[in-house]
């Protein structure tokens, strides 16, 4: 052997023993010996007392300890098939295949697509995957860490010793990989990354499919490919739903950890399977069309409600394993309910085991804090201009639609993504290349997200929580919009709740708060939300924020809900709001289900159920939400009485509903409103009916029209409008 070669080998082995070798496959495993007619096999096991080599023919030969640090070596004639028999202190023996006798798994084509950011199913290549290499089955691990000096796989299977399984570096991508034969499902693991600074970082798998239950933070090897779905009929029909634009969409927003608990068992969470049997039938019975889940992706801190995600590819283990989450989604689909997940591509937390400074550098985030930090939330901002980061997020969106069959994503905090100066003062942000405040990379990312998900999964939806006047949020990307299916109407929600806080006697001076939305209601495809954000952080519950005595609060709440269902736009209601919970929502405890023993709360729930079912069967209440022809004011100017009246039309203009809303506790008798056609107008809904907890003021089931002109119509009806009540009427003859 040439002297230089021997010196290089000794140096490489010394680096290996010190945990600093960047190319372990060059020295470990089988290699031709200096004669060229045999092979030398090397293994590095610092905790081993001895290692024997068991050859394919059954012969067992002891390996020589070459270095006291744990390097063993043997020369054999043929090393194509062998196993290591490792003896640990106490005579404990383990027989294992040698990872270093296997070649590369990722192909050059994989690396090319991953580098240019077009491998939209990167979750099939990176992370931990059960694969077969030749006749051997094991787990392939791959990780992107381009600036690392060395990356090792660590877990219970190697004593969490980063010297044992250093990984192969694939250049120029900076992806590290290793194949571990015979590794079982359920094994915990992390990656030990040696940064250029010399620091050792222990990181969870960004593409991990499962995690330990927090506060533990290891990733878990999990094969998620074997679940047998039963929702084929639902998925086959999904493309024809067209994103639900002309269909009823009433969304029940849920935080899984606090919808209900099990107090007799230490106030524990319900499991995914228990929720499939309890939550799904309840939501179906209530008449909702979708369940929207606050983020279920793995997150270390429960108090973040899931909005500070670290395990982007794993449903949280708090409620059970990944297959059990599939059981919940499957149950929803079999019950005819869609599933929407809150998704958080805008930021991530700084936890040491997560994405922050992943390989010792700003890899997923921007290096400059003027671009890379959300100071309000103490989190970091994704670098949307980096191919691999963009690909990470895009493949994550497809992952949930494909692997877990979800029907849509509600994208959190879109405004914070769109504006470079979001919540920043002068000098704290960096302008784009044109000198503007728009985040061009984020805009491009969102357009690609929506084009990709809608194109790959027709009928799936995306919804933006976007609180500014950014134009074209729900317009197609090819027309210059962001491409979302829907945008949350935050302005409508805030205006209406501000109005409800006013004493009824003062509402006449704030009438514009309930009418202003008509000026922009058709500029976007809006969802009308009464969301979780409105019942936390001292804002009070929906009931608590309404002015008046308890009777007035309940009556006003029913009218607010009626206004939501009468107003153009899809509907969203946070859990607990459907029965008028008094207390503010807390993520640490169950909803106050005991309130349903009281008539007033029973009434609100029954009222929401009736609104939902009327919403289903009346095309005028959902077909033309985003068509200006589907809405007309009858009278929006009666601020003195604080009464509003409107018409909602189906595509068939003869199919319409009349809706009247009285926001004062004064009954309005002989109240006349114009109607488009003569006939008998039956009461579909009266929010003041006693069955809903009201005082039963109404019109005896309906009224006939009269040939008296009013509000631009030749016909009109004369009504008794209940106090703090709403009426929905429809012509029956």
Say how far apart CA 575 and CA 588 lie, in whole Å.
Answer: 14
Say how far apart CA 106 and CA 142 lie, in whole Å.
Answer: 9
pLDDT at 503 over 60: yes
Say how far apart CA 58 and CA 113 lie, in whole Å.
Answer: 43
pTM of the predicted model, to two decimals? 0.95
pLDDT at 4 over 60: no
Where do the DSSP E strands lie in 363-472? 373-374, 379-380, 408-411, 461-464
Closest CA to 553 of 563, 562, 542, 543: 543
pLDDT band at 37 (very low <50, low <70, confident <90, very high): confident
Say how far apart CA 115 and CA 172 lie, in whole Å.
Answer: 9
Range of lowest pLDDT (330-344, 366-380, 492-506): 366-380
Q: What is the pLDDT of residues 268-318, one digit of tens each?
A: 999 999 999 999 999 999 999 999 999 999 999 999 999 999 999 999 999
pLDDT at 8 over 80: no
pLDDT band at 147 (very low <50, low <70, confident <90, very high): very high
Pairing of strands 261-262, 29-32: unpaired
Say how far apart CA 586 and CA 259 lie, in whole Å.
Answer: 10
| Both structure tokens of 438 | 């728009």
The C-alpha angle with vertex 473 and arms to 311 and 406, in degrees rounded to 5, equals: 40
pLDDT at 6: 67
pLDDT at 12: 81
Residue 292: what are its φ and ψ, rounded to 5°?
Answer: -110, 125
Q: Please, are residues 676 and 716 in contact by the beta-carbon 8 Å criterion?
A: no
DSSP 184: P
Residue 195 has a CB neighbour count (10 Å cut-off) of: 18
Closest CA to 667 of 724, 717, 722: 722
Range of lowest pLDDT (28-42, 334-348, 352-366, 695-709): 28-42
Q: Please, are residues 202 and 154 in contact by the beta-carbon 8 Å criterion?
A: yes
Say how far apart CA 313 and CA 205 lie, in whole Å.
Answer: 9
Closest CA to 484 of 519, 442, 526: 526
The counts of H helices and E strands in the chain are 13, 38
Q: What is the CA radius of gyration of the chain?
A: 31
Which secondary structure element, helix H or strand E, spans residue 322, and what is its range? helix 322-334
Burial class of residue 510, CB neighbours in 10 A (0-12, 13-18, 19+): middle
Q: Which residue has the tokens 């997150």?
A: 299
Residue 437 has a CB neighbour count (10 Å cut-off) of: 14
Burial class of residue 652, CB neighbours in 10 A (0-12, 13-18, 19+): exposed
Closest CA to 663 of 538, 497, 490: 497
| Both structure tokens of 638 | 């009666």
pLDDT at 102: 95
pLDDT at 9: 77
- Give CA separation, 222 vs 96, 158, 625, in Å: 20, 18, 43
Give every strand in the sheet of 39-44, ordered side by side.
Answer: 29-32, 39-44, 71-76, 64-67
Q: What is the pLDDT of residues 181-197, one digit of tens each?
A: 999 999 999 999 999 99
Please count the CA atoms within 13 angstroms of the CA of 442 that sit on its side-chain side: 25
**Range 463-475 burial, b when 16+ CB lie within 10 A, else e:** bbbbbeebebbbb
Say how far apart CA 17 and CA 66 lie, in whole Å.
Answer: 11
- Give CA separation, 405 vs 231, 437, 615, in Å: 9, 37, 26
Which secondary structure element, helix H or strand E, spans residue 602, and what is its range? helix 599-617
Say how far apart CA 368 and CA 361 lie, in whole Å.
Answer: 11
Pairing of strands 71-76, 64-67: antiparallel
pLDDT at 43 over 50: yes
| DSSP structure string for 480-495 | TS---SEEE-HHHHHH
Residue 188 has a CB neighbour count (10 Å cut-off) of: 18
More confident residue, 721 or 66: 721
Indicate the Cα dihedral angle 528, 533, 536, 539, nearest 10°. -60
Where do the DSSP E strands lie in 89-247? 92-96, 127-133, 136-144, 150-155, 168-170, 175-181, 188-194, 200-203, 219-220
Q: Please, are residues 462 and 474 in contact by the beta-carbon 8 Å criterion?
A: no
The average confidence (pLDDT) of the chain is 95
pLDDT at 57: 76
pLDDT at 1 over 60: no
| Percentage of residues in the chain having pLDDT higher than 90 | 89
Q: Which residue has the tokens 């958080």?
A: 344
- Give CA separation, 492 vs 148, 305, 532, in Å: 49, 24, 15
Contacts of 214 (CB under 8 A, 6+ apart): 298, 299, 300, 301, 302, 316, 317, 318
pLDDT at 3 over 60: no
Which secondary structure element, helix H or strand E, spans residue 389, and what is its range? helix 387-403
Q: What is the pLDDT of residues 657-666, one digit of tens each?
A: 999 999 999 9
Q: What is the pLDDT of residues 423-450, one digit of tens each?
A: 998 989 999 999 999 999 999 999 999 9
pLDDT at 67: 86
pLDDT band at 2 (very low <50, low <70, confident <90, very high): very low
pLDDT band at 5 (very low <50, low <70, confident <90, very high): low
pLDDT band at 256 (very low <50, low <70, confident <90, very high): very high
| Both structure tokens of 33 | 């010996």
Contacts of 358 (CB under 8 A, 6+ apart): 145, 193, 201, 203, 206, 364
**Range 593-623 burial, b when 16+ CB lie within 10 A, else e:** eebeeeebbbbbbbbbebbbebbeebbbbbb
Instruction: Set out the domains of the chain in order of their start, with CATH numbers.
Output: 3-97 (2.60.40.10), 108-220 (2.60.40.10), 627-731 (2.60.40.1180)
pLDDT at 372: 85
More confident residue, 667 or 376: 667
The C-alpha angle with vertex 541 and arms to 537 and 546, in degrees rounded to 5, equals: 120
Closest CA to 587 of 369, 318, 306, 334: 306
Burial class of residue 130, CB neighbours in 10 A (0-12, 13-18, 19+): middle
Q: Please, are residues 382 and 365 in contact by the beta-carbon 8 Å criterion?
A: yes
As annotated, the active-site residues are: 412, 465
Q: Please, are residues 406 and 329 in contact by the beta-carbon 8 Å criterion?
A: yes
């Amino acid at each position: 052997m040439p002297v230089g070669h021997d010196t290089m080998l000794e140096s490489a082995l010394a680096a290996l023993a010190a945990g600093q070798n960047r190319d372990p496959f060059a020295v470990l495993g089988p290699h031709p010996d200096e004669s060229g007619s045999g092979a030398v096999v090397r293994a590095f096991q610092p905790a081993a007392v001895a290692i024997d080599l068991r050859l394919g023919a059954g012969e067992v030969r002891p390996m020589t300890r070459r270095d006291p640090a744990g390097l063993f070596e043997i020369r054999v004639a043929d090393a194509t098939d062998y196993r290591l028999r490792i003896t640990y202190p106490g005579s404990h023996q383990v027989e294992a295949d040698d990872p270093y006798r296997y070649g590369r798994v990722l192909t050059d084509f994989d690396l090319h697509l991953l580098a240019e950011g077009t491998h939209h199913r990167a979750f099939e290549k990176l992370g931990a995957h059960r694969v077969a290499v030749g006749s051997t089955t094991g787990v392939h691990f791959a990780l992107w860490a381009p600036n690392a000096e060395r990356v090792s796989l660590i877990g219970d299977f190697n004593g969490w010793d980063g010297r044992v399984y250093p990984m192969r570096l694939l250049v120029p991508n900076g992806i590290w990989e290793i194949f571990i034969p015979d590794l079982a499902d359920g094994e915990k693991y992390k990656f030990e990354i040696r940064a250029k600074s010399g620091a050792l970082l222990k990181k969870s798998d960004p593409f991990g499919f499962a995690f330990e239950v927090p506060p533990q933070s290891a990733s878990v090897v999990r094969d998620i490919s074997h679940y047998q779905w039963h929702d084929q009929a639902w998925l086959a029909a999904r493309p024809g739903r067209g994103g639900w634009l002309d269909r009823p969409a009433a969304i029940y927003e849920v935080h899984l950890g606090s919808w209900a608990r099990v107090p007799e068992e230490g106030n524990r969470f319900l499991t995914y399977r228990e929720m499939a049997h309890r939550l799904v039938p309840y939501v179906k019975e209530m008449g909702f069309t979708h369940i929207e889940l606050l983020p279920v992706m793995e997150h270390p801190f429960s108090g973040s409600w899931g909005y500070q995600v670290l395990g982007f590819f794993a449903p949280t283990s708090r409620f059970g394993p990944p297959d059990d989450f599939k059981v919940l989604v499957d149950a929803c689909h079999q019950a005819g309910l869609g599933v929407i997940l809150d998704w958080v591509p805008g930021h991530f937390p700084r936890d040491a085991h997560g994405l922050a400074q992943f390989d010792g550098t700003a890899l997923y985030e921007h290096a400059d804090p003027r671009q890379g930090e959300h100071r309000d939330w103490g989190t970091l901002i994704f670098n949307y201009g980096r191919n691999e980061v963009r690909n990470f997020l895009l493949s994550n969106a497809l992952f949930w639609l494909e692997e877990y069959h979800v029907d849509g994503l509600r994208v959190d905090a879109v405004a914070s993504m769109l504006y470079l100066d979001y919540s920043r003062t002068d000098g704290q942000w960096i302008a784009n290349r044109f000198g503007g405040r728009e985040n061009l990379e984020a805009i491009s990312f969102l357009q690609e997200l929506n084009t990709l998900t809608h194109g790959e999964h027709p009928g799936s939806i995306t919804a933006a929580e976007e609180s500014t006047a950014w134009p074209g949020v729900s317009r197609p990307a090819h027309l210059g919009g962001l491409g979302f299916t829907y945008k949350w109407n935050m302005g409508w929600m805030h205006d209406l709740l501000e109005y409800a806080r006013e004493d009824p006697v003062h509402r006449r001076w704030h009438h514009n708060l309930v009418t202003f939305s008509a000026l922009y209601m058709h500029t976007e495809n809006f969802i009308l939300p009464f969301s979780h954000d409105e019942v936390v952080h001292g804002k009070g519950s929906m009931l608590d924020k309404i002015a008046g005595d308890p009777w007035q609060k309940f009556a006003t709440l029913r009218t607010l809900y009626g206004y939501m269902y009468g107003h153009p736009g899809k509907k969203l209601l946070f859990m607990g709001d459907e029965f008028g919970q008094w207390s503010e929502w807390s993520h640490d405890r169950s909803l106050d289900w005991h309130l349903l023993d009281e008539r007033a709360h029973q009434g609100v729930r029954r009222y929401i159920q009736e609104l939902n079912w009327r919403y289903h069967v009346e095309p005028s209440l959902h077909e033309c939400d985003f068509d200006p022809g589907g809405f007309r004011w009858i009278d929006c100017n009666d601020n003195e009485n604080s009464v509003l009246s409107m018409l909602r039309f189906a595509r068939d203009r003869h199919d319409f509903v009349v809706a009247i809303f009285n926001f004062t506790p004064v009954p309005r008798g002989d109240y006349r409103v114009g109607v488009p056609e003569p006939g008998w107008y039956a009461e579909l809904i009266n929010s003041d009916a006693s069955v809903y907890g009201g005082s039963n003021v109404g019109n005896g089931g309906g009224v006939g029209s009269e040939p008296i002109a009013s509000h631009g119509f030749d016909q009109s009806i004369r009504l008794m409008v209940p106090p703090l009540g709403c009426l929905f009427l429809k012509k029956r003859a």
